[in-house]
Structure 1
Amino acid sequence: MTLTNPATPDTADRPRQAHPADRLRAAAPALLTYAAIRALGLLVLAGWAHLADRSARQLLSQRWDSLWYVRVVEHGYDFTLTAPDGRVLSNMAFFPLLPWLEEGVSRLTPLGPADAGLAVSAVASLAAAWGVFQVVELVYGRRAGLFAVALWAALPVGIVQSMAYSESLFVALAAWALYATLRGNWIAAGLLAALAGLTRPVGLAVAAAVWVGALLALRTGTAAGPRWRLVLGVVLAPLGAAGYVLWVGVRTGSPFFGYLDVQGAWGNGFDGGLAFVRFIGDLVVSTPAAGLALAAGVLVVPWLYWRGVRQGQPAPLLTYCGIVVALALCSSGYFGSKPRLLMPAFPLLLPLALALARAKARLAWTVIAVAAAGAAVYGAFWLHGSGPP
């Protein structure tokens, strides 16, 4: 059972059910393109770090959030830090799957937790690129899948995909969960959604996508196989995120609000985007060019989402993408992190990927080359700055 719309464009090279080895061969050009773009970013970062007398490895694995994941490995969830303004920052704000993997890799190899995080991200980023390709190929065809992966690799903040951060791991789990949902593989979708929920709080967006896919399958009578598989997938999907949030609540003495309190101490909350609007407004007043550029960039996000709606993206993709975008833009946390928080919303790239897939090859690859070069330079500049991405 497939939940894609057969009337969507560029369907001539859509895949049928295939052996995993065949799927990997089909994805090979996209994965090689992804690896080349990310390698360019790492080479530029290494050169910049050499000129600045800094360590590229340290920039990727031992700054900002990556340090907090290592603290989970080294101290469990008993580590706190007092901020200058008196706020108590707890590492319970960070979901456990990445530090679990870091600990497992460091026990099985000579790598320390920080370097293990880099190894996990390297593998996960390729799995994420493959998952993005599978989803887009299923819906819009192989050429669109190739350009979707290239665009995702060449995002301005694409360097995060190579850091000891949880973005690559989350996108890998989310993309494959969405692919399983579109294929009607409900148990796999539920398990992957649960794991995504153990990676980042936005994992609930993946669970919601599974629920929407299941509801549509029941409504249209297209749910293949025994009904219990669908029910089990729906039940499994939210368990990762809900289980961790409840565990933090029990640890803090407030089962339903404890995790929100932990995030609140970090300055993170959901205010419908009011704080972000004020931030943009202040920036327009103080630095008009930068403020207007940021406002224009933000407006592109809902426009791309609307284009996805008009192009008939499957409901599970729209559900997942919409929740990721809403949580990213409407949270009151550190505003410099919003581009990174939008990175999992890869369905936003589908309208652009389709446009490139239909363009002449020279033009399409020129766009990708320029985007990749810009991302490489910006990523190196970003990591040499003072604020967290």
Structure 2
Amino acid sequence: MARSGIARIHVGGIAVAALLVLSGCAPGADPEPTAAPETTSPPEPYTGPAIFVGEELEGFLFTADEIGSLLPGSTDIRPPSSVLEQISDGGGPAIVPEVCGALFAEQSLWSVGSRNVSWTTTADSDYRFGHMLALQFADEAHAQARLDQLVDAAAQCASFDYNGPASFESVTPAASDNVRALAGTLTLPEIEGGWSTFSAYATVGNVLVQVSQSLDGEARPDAEAVAEKLQERAEQARAALMDKLTANPPTEQPEPAENASAPWGDWMITAGGVGPVRLGDPVDEAISAARAAQVIPPPFPGDPSKLVNDAGTSSMLVQATEGGAAVASVTVGDARSVSGTTQVGADLPAIDGLRVGAPVADAVAAYPQGTTVSVVSSEEHWYDMASRDGRLLRFHADRDVEEPGATIIGITVEDATKRPLVFG
């Protein structure tokens, strides 16, 4: 943020006294006209979309005292974190009606950033957890679509079938100026464990906030009070963001010129793509621009095309949008740590000096407002950094990002606004 300088004029005491004497002796004269002080007009209020990124997500989180007050039984409340664990295992019995599946969805899947708080409960049970997630999505449409699903589920799933009778007892407070919210308790049949979970959701702009806590006999949260508190906090976060973007409006960064004839190792990874391989271009044109020695078509529908360099030492992955018309993402190196291949980073494009083979810690230091992600089911690990325009930069790691020695095995740039609106 630019600092405004203040000019200060110091007048010595002798000079002031002399000025007073001269003023007293001088004949009356018309005073010199004084110039009107310059005024600076306030900046025009920002009226664009409410797109939150990185540490701005912390403005949605409840304090430890608020969690303790709103969620009876909560204890061992941890500090806010930028580390997100995803399970992504799917499975479970058939759900009737199908819309009720939204109540079981792992909402963080396909998010591009997170700040979260976790805790445990005082229940005498193995089923005891609590967490609050502020989830950043690529744009407003993605976050709003998630809540649309949940609102539909709340309306249709007061009772439903989950290998037996299940229920979702919910409340939906009146929407505030910019925020929608709902809250309720999900209870499963005894054959599926019989457990109950309280959940509350709110959305504003590109953010979905979720509060969840297991229930096991302790006092139940006041669902309406939690939902209204989510609304209040989200409105506060939005107001702070509008003030911030009014003072510092978003600007579009120019894309650097690329030498398409240069070797891959000289190309740059930018928000717009990799060298001459540009996001949004027709897939065939992008593959042609890469001048790969070998092009391996997608083995299955929805998989990326693999491009291999002349020496066979390095590769890139070109992923098409749903339907296959245009480039949605480009990955240099590997996208999965279980691939078992080793690539030569010097033969691949880089971003800000970061290449395949560099420590992931270097990427975290270069982009400190990102999110560390670990996926339990697939043992994948990465570090995400997303911009306000929905461009995602992902550093794939060979192990947990926070482990010493974790190494970059691939770098992806993606237009995350092109993802389907909901996961699954």
Identify whether the pair has TM-score above 0.5, normalized to the shorter chain: no
Answer 1 or 2: higher relative contact order, Cα 8 Å, separation at least 6.
Answer: 1
Instruction: Name the one with the larger helix percent.
Output: 1
Shorter-chain TM-score tier: under 0.3
Instruction: Name the one with the larger strand percent.
Output: 2
Mark the structure with the bigger radius of gyration.
2
| TM-score normalised by the chain length of structure 2 | 0.21
| TM-score normalised by the chain length of structure 1 | 0.22
